[in-house]
Structure 1
Amino acid sequence: MKIATLGPSGSNHEMIARRYLEMRCSGEGSLVLFTEFDEAFQALMSGQVSHVLQCSAHATHGDCVGRYMHRAYPVDTFIAGSKPLALVAQRAIARPTQVAIQPATRYYTDLTEYKTIDVPTIVAVADGLLAGRFEAGICAEEVIEQAPEQLRLLQSLGPALDTWVMFATQPLPASSPLRLDAQV
């Protein structure tokens, strides 16, 4: 199994894909990280990878399902938690006024007092915080450990519990227990 999913390295998509390979494939298989899901699905269509793993909360999930209908089929689904997330801020800024977010995280806590800045991934939020580009952001809580003198915890959010979908180019057989449409 060769899984395509969203990078960069350190992303929740990478973590969950590696966990999938370990738990469902005895650690056999490989992983290819892409910057956009359209690239991952194109790799699936061209046979460069055998599967695409996507979180259903990702902003492009609905578009990908529609764009690749009748060519990329959901063949597995499961629930998994992300890395523990947090609202993190620069220590030097007493009261941040803006917060960087990956759009899927926008409702994880009340952000009404902030101006939001959309960023493509939570890894990019963390990178921006570490580089001092953002006053605050929602990212993996572990980023604080990388720069405890620079960053502080505003609010621990815990892991996001999401539904994940694995796609392949062949649909499940009608007899699959995952196919409720075939059971009717």
Structure 2
Amino acid sequence: MRIATLGPADSNHAFVLSRYLVQRGLQDSEVTLIDDFPQAFADLEKGHYDYLLQVSAHFSHGDCVGHFMHRVFPVDTFIAASRPLALAVRRDVEQPTSVLRQPATRFYTDLSQWQEIDASTTVEALERLRAGQADAAIVAEDAVERFADELTCLRRLGAALDTWVLYASRPLSCLSLHDNPALQEHFNTVRR
């Protein structure tokens, strides 16, 4: 099975995909890390991949769904936690004023006092932060530990719970609502 998602290897998409494949018993799948979702949707339609995983919070999600309607189909959805995130600051900066952030993370903490700079991924935000292109960035929390000599944690943001969609080039043969014990338990606690 060939499955694609957004890279690079330490991206949140790759992180969630690896856990998904383990949970589904599909660890032997061939994984391709892409850098452009519209192109990946086109490649899925052409048969270059069997499946494509995308988080619904990705800025291109709505456009991809609309553009490839009736040609690429959602075949699975799930909720998964992201890698824990943090607002990291370069150690050589006394008064940080600029922050790199991936658009989906822009509301994870109050950035109103900062000059906000777009980065396409949290991985890119980290690379550019380390290159001195901003004073701070929203990055994977473990990056603060990996680069402890360069970065310090200003604020731990934790993991985001996101909705993920797995796409294929053909629809499911039967659409159904699966029994979900966790959801049923949630409904039961709300009814009390």
Question: Normalising by structure 1, what TM-score?
Answer: 0.93
What is the SS of the residue equivalent to 1:10? coil
Greater share of helix residues, 1 or 2?
2
Which residue identity lines up with residue 48 of structure 1 in the other structure? H
Query: For residues 58-102 of structure 1, what are the alpha-carbon distances to aligned partners after superposition, in whole Å with 9 as ceiling and x for unaligned?
Result: 111001100110011100000001111000001111121110000
Aligned residues: percent identity?
48
Distance 1:100 1:175, change over 3 A: closer
CA distance in 2, matches of 1:142, 1:66: 35
User: Paired residue for 1:77?
Assistant: 77
User: Paired residue for 1:13?
Assistant: 13
**Number of residue pairs aligned between Structure 1 and Structure 2:** 178
User: Paired residue for 1:170?
Assistant: 170
Distance 1:55 1:175, change over 3 A: closer
User: Paired residue for 1:181?
Assistant: none
User: Paired residue for 1:145?
Assistant: 145
User: Paired residue for 1:182?
Assistant: none
Uncovered stretches (5+) of structure 2, i.e. residues with no partner: 179-192
Uncovered stretches (5+) of structure 1, i.e. residues with no partner: 179-184
Query: For residues 17-52 of structure 1, what are the alpha-carbon distances to aligned partners after superposition, in whole Å with 9 as ceiling and x for unaligned?
Result: 111111113423121011110121122011110011
CA distance in 2, matches of 1:42, 1:100: 30
Deviates more, 1:23-32 or 1:104-113: 23-32
User: Paired residue for 2:118?
Assistant: 118
Which residue identity lines up with residue 154 of structure 2 in the other structure? L
Which residue identity lines up with residue 160 of structure 1 in the other structure? A
Deviation at 1:133, TM superposition (A): 2.1
Which 4+ stretches in 1 moved above 6 angstroms?
none
User: Paired residue for 1:65?
Assistant: 65
Deviates more, 1:14-23 or 1:66-75: 14-23
Deviation at 1:149, TM superposition (A): 1.7
Query: For residues 120-151 of structure 1, what are the alpha-carbon distances to aligned partners after superposition, in whole Å with 9 as ceiling and x for unaligned?
Result: 00000111122222210001011112221211
CA distance in 1, matches of 2:175, 2:152: 52
Within 5 Å, give how 1:31-70 maps onto structure 2. Answer: 31-70=31-70
